[in-house]
Amino acid sequence: MSAERGIRLDGKVAVVTGAGRSLGRAYAIALAAAGAAVVVNDVDAESANGTVAEIESAGGRAVAVIAPVGPTETADRLVAAAIENFGRIDVMVANAGVLRDRVVWKMSDDDFDLVIETHLRGSFTCARAAAVAMRTQEQGGRIVLIGSPAGQFGSFGQTNYATAKAGLVAMARTLALELARAHVTANAVIPTALSPMTATIPAYTEVYEDYVAGKGIPEEYRRDHALGSPEDVAALIVWLASDASADVTGQAIGIGGDRLTLYSHPAVLETRDSAGGWTPDGIDAVWHDDLAASAQHSGPPAKD
């Protein structure tokens, strides 16, 4: 366990949800390697305790809180654990998530609700609990929400997941506005890394299986698909948690493999005015004669 040279988190305390495995585990370990004490959250006690054991074996400090994110009670427990065990909270990384992929005509209420409850409500309750504590401390703080390319571009079969992830980017931008006077930053990280979730994408299943088997990640996937390991993403988490990023807030920043990406905020593409308002026929004419040329397609950009 080694930290990026020059970027340190000594004396800081972080909470990472969904930190028992995969990306969340990498985030927790990297934060600890940089000097932070870490509250490790997961619904699975064995995996959460495994992350804690790895951090402690490398000389770091960590405790586990076993609970599902979503309920306010869990968020309050996580912040309380940080304060009771380490004296404060400086960083909240809302990472926990689940998948229930179905095309919309097959997606049940339960499929939708569980994903929204975990990703969107869970991030909200954790961010709110952290914001309350950070404002009370009056020493600033960092809130990091975890988005996805699905939330940026849409994703077939993931109405629930894409909706939650798009909402998290808007949440980060709003929190950035509301918490600016308290010197608390809020940003969304858009990771692209090999994980059990990535393995559900047919194009990446074999790459993931090879990665798990220790065969490494082919250069073309790191370069052209921005697809790397969880540890690649953890570097951005550490930087956003640090004092070095104190002036960075309200941003959606992607990372994966060899690529770092800054996403744009939504912007107006075109406007047209019609004195007295619009009729359906008028809209049809201006759309087909003019605006259609500027319309953007749904879905991720094509690979080069």
> Which one from 27, 161, 211, 221 is the annotated catalytic residue?
161
3-state SS track over the chain? CCCCCCCCCCCCEEEECCCCCHHHHHHHHHHHHCCCEEEEEECCHHHHHHHHHHHHHCCCCEEEEECCCCCHHHHHHHHHHHHHHHCCCCEEEECCCCCCCECHHHCCHHHHHHHHHHHHHHHHHHHHHHHHHHHHHCCCEEEEEECCHHHHHCCCCEHHHHHHHHHHHHHHHHHHHHCHHHCEEEEEEEECECCCCHHHCHHHHHHHHHHHCCCCCCHHHHHHCCCECHHHHHHHHHHHHCHHHCCCCCCEEEEECCEEEECCCCCCCCCCCCCCCCCHHHHHHHHHHCHHHHCCCCCCCCCC
Contact 66, 43 (CB under 8 A): yes
Q: Token digits for 18? A: 């969904």
Please say if 204 is a catalytic residue. Answer: no
Please say if 165 is a catalytic residue. Answer: yes
> Which one from 12, 47, 155, 165 is the annotated catalytic residue?
165
> Which one from 22, 123, 148, 242 is the annotated catalytic residue?
148
Contact 191, 255 (CB under 8 A): yes
Backbone angles phi, psi at 261, to 5 degrees: -130, 130
Q: Token digits for 192? A: 């692209």
Active-site residue list: 148, 161, 165
